[in-house]
Amino acid sequence: MSSVLSAFFTLVAVAVLGYVVGRAGVLRSEDEQVLSRLAFFVATPALMFATVARADLNAIFSPVLLTSLSCVLVVVVLSVTVTALVRHRDRAQATIGALAASYVNAGNLGIPVAVYVLGDGALVAPIVLFQLLVMAPVAFAVLDGYRQGSGRRVSLRTVLTRPLRNPLTVASLLGLLVAAVGFDPPTLLMRPVELVGAAGVPVALIAYGLSLSGRTSTRIGPAPDVALAVSLKIVLQPVIAYAVGRWVLGLEGHALLAPTLLAALPTAQNVYVYAVHYRTGQQLARSTVMLTTLLAIPTMTLITGLLA
């Protein structure tokens, strides 16, 4: 349990640092874009490549992937059913709501938790790949087709090739290829990659804290949609992961803790980025990211206390 608290204290402390330097004027709130691009296009891809390239493929394609698929399927179906059919939200809002309820922060928070708490950063790789290769393209296809009523359509080629323009996807696939062929990259090559990758998590967290320093409004809303997304993400997703791992796959101990703990990760900040880009559900995405990040600490601590 102390390892979870220690890992999250470290992550939260760095995010708070970003908030403090933003409020103190050391960095401007608009500098968030520079730091976010540095993390997204350079540092985090380097971290993913270094992690996956030296990982055991058996660890990468572990029960974590199956439990993640089960969680996402159930949560997305429930979210879309309630938001679209019961609350009559439009297609774009329902899509952002489904992402907010199911798209976990596997990059910025998942990797540190997997490394510091579970002892194997490669455990989060299948989640990253699934979200970037399957979930995100499907969501983009829906959102591109809607595009706030503009009628703009995109070609099938654009939808299919979009993941290959994502640096995290490319880095993960390259790392997977290196691991599959059994190639051991020379130290001279890997040292600069690892050095750059080490900046990924702190830069992303500072950027997130910096983004909060410029907020003038902390209003939560729309409340019913946020409550649904937070409940599905923080409560239902880890419950499904535990049920699938325990009673379908017969997992126990650390093997059961890993998928359950990773399922309790908060909503990824990427969802807010997508909402801003498509100009829909920004308040929902931002509120869900903030609340699930706060609630993930006690939730993951409780999970570890029960299963460790």
Assigned token pair, 252: 């126990």
Compute φ and ψ for 104, nearest 5 degrees.
Answer: -85, 155
Determine the pLDDT at residue 158: 67
Distance CA 260, CA 258 (A): 6
Q: Would you state the pLDDT for residue 3? A: 61
Torsion 87-92-95-96 (CA) sign: negative
The confidence score (pLDDT) of residue 150 equals 44
Distance CA 61, CA 120 (A): 13
Enter the tokens of residue 207: 């950027």
Between CA 247 and CA 279 the distance in angstroms is 41
Report H helices in 39-166. Answer: 44-53, 57-60, 63-80, 91-102, 111-116, 125-130, 136-146, 156-161
pLDDT tens, position by position, for the chain (308 residues)? 566 667 667 777 888 898 899 999 999 877 887 888 888 789 878 988 988 888 777 766 778 888 888 999 999 999 999 998 888 888 899 999 999 999 998 876 787 778 777 877 778 878 887 887 788 778 877 887 665 444 455 566 766 676 677 787 788 889 889 988 988 889 999 999 999 998 887 887 888 788 778 765 556 667 899 999 999 999 999 999 999 999 999 999 888 999 999 999 999 877 887 787 778 888 899 899 889 988 887 898 889 888 87
104 closest CA partner among 304, 299, 305: 299
Which residues on adjacent β-strands are paired with residue 267? 104
Helix (H, G, I), strand (E, B) or coil at 104: strand
Model pLDDT, residue 162: 67
**How far is it, in rounded angstroms, from Cα 199 to Cα 286?**
24
> What string of DSSP letters covers 41-66?
IIIHHHHHHHHHHTS-HHHHTSHHHH
